[in-house]
């Protein structure tokens, strides 16, 4: 819940990672059921944290896509019901726009507002997109992944190596223990396009080839799966007990290659649009290797990352993106649809 001054009144996140972990990825049907179970208690908890009542609210914002339809439907139906019962305007927010606004909002709170036009790199489990963002929040898509999203690459490699789902945090924690130059993973050269698109499928295949060439990988992976069975979210120290040097080297090299691929598009993107600042957002923005490399490169403009809590999916980002729409009175009707794909 956000106040117009910008203060976070409450932020409650229900994680359903445990429900998906043993499947090595998000199972859509489980996701919608978990949403259905969580939504009422989560909203109740958010209200209780603030000490406010529903009558104190001015609007209800909800994401309508892109994402898994079943989960989106749960959120949108609940938000519409609230809006109807409380006679409050409904604001439909694009999930990706939410990731961008999490950073814009937080930077303003910290007294270092984002300068526009900004280049936004949105890197999550479903997206690897470069946008130009104007002061009035007009967006132009400059580049995107041709195949997997960066987070998806982390998750697939994590699953292959026995780190469960999501793979990003485990790989990130272990990458500093390996040599990023040890395994020369390469990226496919994209022949057509404007040079601002990304591709991670070649890298994913490279990791698979490396994996297949190793001796005794089954036992290694089995040991990690066993750890995962005992501790749903092992710490880096626990992972280190079942991850030998060769795998740490492969992990470090994989992460280094992803970061290189992501940042290789930033400088041309900055130049193409005359960006005054860089925004990096989405779950992969948590990645320490990406943060360090982005800061080291500098790009000659301020670089804004969200705090860890606002990097992965959360409600504050949806409320933050809703505020400009609230000011412009851009409201959605009760017939608002949800979308698996939703360009903006």
Residues that bind ligand KG4 (CB under 6 A): 124-126, 151, 154-155, 166-169, 172, 282-284, 286-287, 312-313
Tell whether residue 145 is a contact of Zn ion (CB under 5 A).
Answer: no
Cβ 95 to Zn ion, closest distance in Å? 6
Mapped onto helix, strand or coil, the DSSP state of residue 286 is helix
Tell whether residue 94 is a contact of Zn ion (CB under 5 A).
Answer: no
- Closer to Zn ion by Cβ: residue 247 or 312: 312
Nearest to 132 by CA among 265, 331, 269: 269
For residues 90 and 77, the answer to whether their CB atoms sit within 8 Å is no
Cβ 285 to Zn ion, closest distance in Å? 10
The runs of H, that is alpha helices, within the chain are 17-21, 28-50, 69-86, 95-109, 150-160, 167-175, 201-212, 217-230, 236-240, 245-264, 266-273, 288-297, 308-311, 315-327
- Closer to ligand KG4 by Cβ: residue 47 or 206: 206
Cβ 155 to ligand KG4, closest distance in Å? 5
Cβ 26 to Zn ion, closest distance in Å? 12
Tell whether residue 281 is a contact of Zn ion (CB under 5 A).
Answer: no
Q: How many residues does the chain have?
A: 344
- Closer to ligand KG4 by Cβ: residue 32 or 287: 287
Helix (H) / strand (E) containing 281: strand 277-281
- Matching residue, tokens 């819940």: 1
- Closer to ligand KG4 by Cβ: residue 167 or 206: 167
- Closer to Zn ion by Cβ: residue 124 or 145: 124
Tell whether residue 311 is a contact of Zn ion (CB under 5 A).
Answer: no
What does the DSSP 8-state code read for residue 130?
Answer: E
For residues 56 and 49, the answer to whether their CB atoms sit within 8 Å is no
Q: Which does 286 bind (CB under 5 to 8 A by kind): ligand KG4, Zn ion, none?
A: ligand KG4
Q: Which does 317 bind (CB under 5 to 8 A by kind): ligand KG4, Zn ion, none?
A: none
Cβ 91 to Zn ion, closest distance in Å? 18
Q: Which does 166 bind (CB under 5 to 8 A by kind): Zn ion, ligand KG4, none?
A: ligand KG4
- Closer to ligand KG4 by Cβ: residue 167 or 269: 167
Q: Residue 30: is the preceding peptide bond cis (ω within 30°)? A: no
CA 288/CA 280 separation, integer angstroms: 12
For residues 139 and 121, the answer to whether their CB atoms sit within 8 Å is no
Choose the stretch contacting Zn ion; rule: CB under 5 A; options: 100-108, 119-127, 193-201, 298-306.
Answer: 119-127
Dihedral sign for Cα 77, 98, 164, 149, please.
Answer: positive
Instruction: Tell which one of 32, 71, 83, 124 touches Zn ion (CB under 5 A).
Output: 124
For residues 188 and 202, the answer to whether their CB atoms sit within 8 Å is yes
Instruction: Tell which one of 97, 148, 220, 313 touches Zn ion (CB under 5 A).
Output: 313
Residues that bind Zn ion (CB under 5 A): 124, 313
């Amino acid at each position: 819940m956000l106040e117009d001054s910008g203060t976070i009144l409450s932020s409650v996140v229900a994680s359903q990672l445990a429900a998906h972990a043993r499947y090595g990825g998000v199972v859509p049907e489980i996701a919608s059921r978990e949403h259905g179970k969580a939504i009422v208690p989560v909203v109740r908890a958010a209200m209780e944290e603030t000490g406010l009542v529903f009558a104190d609210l001015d609007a209800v914002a909800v994401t309508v896509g892109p994402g898994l339809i079943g989960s989106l439907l749960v959120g949108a139906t609940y938000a519409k019901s609230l809006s109807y019962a409380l006679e409050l305007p409904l604001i439909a927010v694009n999930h990706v726009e939410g990731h961008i606004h999490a950073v814009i909002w937080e930077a303003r709170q910290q007294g270092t507002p984002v300068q526009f036009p900004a280049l936004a790199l949105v890197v999550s489990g479903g997206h690897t997109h470069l946008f130009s963002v104007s002061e009035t929040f007009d967006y132009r898509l400059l580049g995107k992944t041709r195949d997997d999203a960066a987070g998806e690459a982390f998750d697939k490699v994590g699953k292959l190596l026995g780190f469960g789902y999501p793979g990003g945090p485990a790989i990130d924690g272990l990458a500093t223990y390996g040599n990023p130059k040890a395994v020369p993973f390469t990226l496919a050269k994209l022949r057509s396009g404007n040079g601002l698109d990304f591709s991670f499928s070649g890298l994913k295949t490279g990791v698979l080839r490396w994996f297949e060439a190793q001796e005794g990988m089954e036992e290694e992976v089995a040991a990690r799966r066993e750890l995962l069975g005992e501790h749903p979210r092992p710490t880096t120290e626990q992972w280190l007990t079942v991850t030998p040097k060769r795998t740490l080297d492969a992990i470090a090299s994989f992460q280094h290659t992803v970061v290189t691929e992501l940042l290789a598009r930033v400088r041309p993107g900055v130049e193409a649009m005359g960006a005054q600042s860089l925004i990096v957002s989405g779950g992969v923005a948590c990645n320490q290797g990406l943060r360090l490399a982005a800061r080291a490169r500098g790009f000659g403009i301020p670089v804004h990352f969200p705090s860890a809590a606002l990097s992965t999916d959360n409600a504050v980002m949806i409320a933050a993106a809703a505020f400009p729409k609230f000011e412009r009175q851009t409201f959605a009707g009760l017939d608002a649809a949800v979308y698996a794909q939703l360009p903006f």
